[in-house]
Amino acid sequence: MAGWGWGWARAVRGLLLDVSGVLYDSGADGGAPIAGSAEAVRRIKASGLKLQLCTNETQATRADFVRKLRAMGFDVSVAEVTAPAPAACRLLQERGLRPHLLVHHDLVPEFAEIDKTNPNCVVLGDAAEHFTYANLNEAFRLLIGMEKPVLISLGKGRYYKETDGLKLDVGAYMKALEYACDIEAEVVGKPAKSFFESALAELGVPAEQAVMIGDDIVSDVGGAQQCGMRALQVRTGKYSFSSLSNTETVKEGCSFGEEYSM
């Protein structure tokens, strides 16, 4: 496992792990684990390092997500998962916002406790096939009709890799609504600083003693570095699809000029 000999690594006490593209590739078939990743999680835990999954997964509740990961052989619990939906619920309650949800049907239960009557904001998640023209237009009409439109996006990813290829992520639809309504969305989830801070709090390790591992140069590597963490980009997931310019950014991303291969 290249890189663990580096001096700074001795100070590392905890890891934040992205999931899709790092531990497994998602897919309509439920997805498939990436070779060696379940063993890697076991070894990380056996080494005494603290571990927290830091994901922008918004196609399932954390409980269902963990159930799926455990079925693939990953030894993880709900408490070890930091995800956007619970963070969004905290934000909605703090600000007395009542959301119209444009999210995957399987994520809706995460918002069970939230008042959704007479919406005064729109919450956007990775709705995938639920991103129909009618659904996006409904969200648009609600926003354009608000005196001060509030759009909360669960992540801003461009795309992710599934077992059958690349898939458009929530960020593309966020941009569509931002442009149509001439507004700027508030992003909950990676790369938002507050989201990484929550993940570090749940990890129980300060930024300078934690490392973020992910396949997205912006959401994972860039976001973590803005919180003062080191970050590594794996060569799995969408990495192999990165454009040249992204590949160059990777080198910046990993300040030690190397990527991490599982």
Residues at the interface with its own copies (CB under 8 A): 127-134, 136-137, 140-141, 144, 158-159, 165-169, 171-173, 175-182, 241, 243, 245
Give alpha helix (H) positions in the chain.
37-46, 62-71, 84-94, 133-144, 170-181, 193-203, 223-226, 244-253
Q: Give whichever of 135 and 198 is closer to its own copies, judged by the CB atom.
A: 135
How many residues belong to the chain? 262
- Calculate the alpha carbon distances from 74 to 25, 53, 58, 123 in Å: 13, 11, 19, 30
Q: Tell me if residue 36 falls in helix, strand or coil.
A: coil
Q: How far is the CB of 222 from its own copies (least distance, A)?
A: 14
DSSP 240: G
> 214 — phi, psi (to 5°)?
-155, 180
Amino acid at 201: A
Q: How far is the CB of 101 from its own copies (least distance, A)?
A: 16
Amino acid at 211: V
**Cα atoms in the 13 Å half-sphere on the side-chain side of 163:** 11
Q: How far is the CB of 140 from its own copies (least distance, A)?
A: 5
Q: Give whichever of 181 and 254 is closer to its own copies, judged by the CB atom.
A: 181
Q: Give whichever of 173 and 196 is closer to its own copies, judged by the CB atom.
A: 173
- Looking only at the bridges linking them, the beta strands covering 165-168 and 159-162 are antiparallel
Q: Give whichever of 139 and 231 is closer to its own copies, judged by the CB atom.
A: 139
Q: Give whichever of 18 and 126 is closer to its own copies, judged by the CB atom.
A: 126
Q: How far is the CB of 96 from its own copies (least distance, A)?
A: 24
**Cα atoms in the 13 Å half-sphere on the side-chain side of 44:** 25
Nearest Cα to 236, choosing from 2, 20, 22, 18?
Answer: 22
Q: How far is the CB of 158 from its own copies (least distance, A)?
A: 5
Radius of gyration of the chain (CA): 18
Q: Give whichever of 10 and 148 is closer to its own copies, judged by the CB atom.
A: 148
Q: Give whichever of 7 and 145 is closer to its own copies, judged by the CB atom.
A: 145
> 100 — phi, psi (to 5°)?
-90, 125
Q: How far is the CB of 137 from its own copies (least distance, A)?
A: 5
Q: How far is the CB of 86 from its own copies (least distance, A)?
A: 25
